[in-house]
Amino acid sequence: MASAYIWTQGDPIGAVKRLLNILRRQAPDAEIGSIGTTGSARKLIGAMLHADVVKNEITAHAVGTLSRHADVRTIIEIGGQDSKIILIEDGIVKDYAMNTLCAAGTGAFLSSQAKRLEIPIEAMGDMAMQSQSPAKIAARCTVFAESDMIHKAQAGYSKMDLVAGLCRAVAANYLNNVGKGKQIVSPIVFQGGVSKNKGVLAAFQEELGEKIHVDADSHLMGALGAAILSQKKTTHRKPFDFSMLQMEYVTRAHICSGCTNNCEIVQFYRGDTLLDSWGKRCEGSVG
């Protein structure tokens, strides 16, 4: 009925406000029966929206993908900030791995390099597919990749060949880090925002020697999974109050002095109302 894929720009609360207004314009008569959140800010946004379900990314992506590809065995997911691999057997997650440390295998890396080359991020895939001699870009980490790309540009490589090399570097980085030691079995589904990049898709297919499926909604699979999980949860919620989006939401952090653990406590407020807090790792009282 409605969907959108937008940048958080370091402000997940502001992004969700923008997102919900976009969805409301797309489907003005839709009634929100339940809300699910997932991703790195799932707890924060779950508290903001009084979500029925707050689920980790592995579960949400698996459920979303299985709803479209019941026979999937391997899920390759590359988002803006992290990447993950999910191995499925008989419809059940049997193994997974995530990479949240190295940016070289993520959409953020491709976006930063697109800006460096002064080309639209959306054009990278088509440019990569036109290259006849992709530049070999070091894929070990962002620093090495950027340094290598600058060197290759100075050596006279075209933007087309540099972009093709970057796409191959993303796939190689993923397989050497996230997919290391994992048995990647067909059918394989590629998802996340980077799945829309034809150059990265082609690089994965060449490296693995397998056909890789990309769903029309591959960039929304985590959200789809969260929606399905929230729909399955019995709720009797009141209609969502869009006036909540006009309210001010703030987070306040402090170090708890209740014991020697010195936990960092994050408190989330709507106006002066405390919605939730987290960070406590012990049984002591919060100070």
Using alpha carbons only, give the angle 170, 107, 58 rounded to the nearest 5 degrees.
95
In angstroms, the CA 129 to CA 198 distance is 7
pLDDT tens track of the chain, all 287 residues?
Answer: 999 998 888 899 999 999 999 999 999 998 888 899 998 899 999 999 999 999 999 999 999 999 999 999 999 999 877 889 999 999 999 999 988 666 556 777 788 888 888 888 888 899 999 999 998 887 666 677 778 888 888 888 899 999 999 899 889 888 988 888 999 999 999 999 899 999 999 999 999 999 999 999 999 999 999 999 998 886 667 778 888 888 899 888 889 887 888 889 889 998 888 998 888 888 655 54
Q: Which residues pair with 250 in a beta bridge?
A: 269
Contact of 183 with 87, CB cutoff 8 Å: yes
Q: What is the pLDDT of residue 139?
A: 65
Q: What is the pLDDT of residue 105?
A: 62
Q: Give me the domains of the chain, ranges plus CATH numbers.
A: 1-68+216-245 (3.30.420.40), 70-214 (3.30.420.40), 249-278 (no CATH)
Residue spans of beta strands (DSSP E) within 47-110: 53-54, 74-78, 83-89, 92-99
How many other C-beta atoms can be found within 10 angstroms of the C-beta atom of residue 158?
A: 16
Contact of 50 with 32, CB cutoff 8 Å: no
Q: What is the pLDDT of residue 234?
A: 65
Burial 245-258 (b: 16+ CB within 10 A, else e): beeebeeeeeebee
Q: What is the pLDDT of residue 102?
A: 61
Residue of 150, 143, 139 whose CA lies nearest to 172 = 139
Q: Which residues pair with 274 in a beta bridge?
A: 269
